[in-house]
Amino acid sequence: MISHTSKYSALTDEQLKLLGTITVEWSNVEFLLGTMLSRLLYTPEFLSRTYTSSMSAYKIIEAIREGLDIHKYRYSHKTINAEISEKINRVVSEADKLRAIRNRVSHFCWSRSHENEVFGIKFSGGVPSSKKERKEVSTLSNKELSEIGTEIHGVVEDLMILVQELPEIEEVAAIRLINKA
């Protein structure tokens, strides 16, 4: 294994696997959130990626919530019914809670405390303070890492099901509309 830490603080293969699982599953969450937004806004997915690929997960989640409000108040749930909207809101809220945890996992520098725990530091700039210290240092057990990965995996599963419930605008149909204009 290649590592930039000493042999005493290098992450174990299990810890690397757990951190990697969180990162990979979160990529799936972000992709599916972008897909969900494109369907809520009746935009072909490829075209929608032009916008969503440069948006943070937070911005996509906010746009999804806005889209759900439009379907509720402007369209009276005629195309996206209230039940699906409620399910989407629940899963998006779960994703939003996990977003903060994922950010900590992805943006901290991790080393091994011991075989069953990792220790992370953010290494951000600025003047040190006790309030900042709580946000910039973290320990997670292997069990906690596994639970986070499992939770994110569950959100991916839920998003995959919900995306299929939303109408898809195919690129071919969009091109036909453009050509008619």
pLDDT digits (tens, 9 = 90+) for 25-35: 999 999 999 99
What integer pLDDT is reported at residue 171 of this predicted model? 81
115 within some domain: no
CA neighbor of 32 nearest in space, from 152, 180, 171, 144: 152
pLDDT tops 70 at residue 1: no
pLDDT digits (tens, 9 = 90+) for 136-167: 889 999 999 999 999 999 999 999 999 999 99
What integer pLDDT is reported at residue 123 of this predicted model? 75
pTM of the model: 0.86
136 within some domain: no
Handedness of CA 17, 22, 25, 27 (dihedral sign): negative
- 8-25: b (≥16 Cβ within 10 Å) or e: eebbeeebbebbebbeeb
What integer pLDDT is reported at residue 86 of this predicted model? 97
* Number of domains the chain contains: 1
10 within some domain: no
119 within some domain: no
pLDDT tops 90 at residue 78: yes
SS3 category, 109: strand
CA neighbor of 120 nearest in space, from 107, 138, 103: 138
68 within some domain: yes
pLDDT digits (tens, 9 = 90+) for 91-118: 999 999 999 999 999 989 899 999 999 9
39 within some domain: yes
Instruction: Classify residue 167 as exposed, middle or buried by CB count within 10 Å of its CB (0-12, 13-18, 19+).
Output: exposed
137 within some domain: no
123 within some domain: no
- The owner of tokens 């195309």 is 79
pLDDT tops 90 at residue 72: yes
- The owner of tokens 């006790």 is 130
Determine the structural domain holding residue 79 and report its residue range.
16-108+142-180
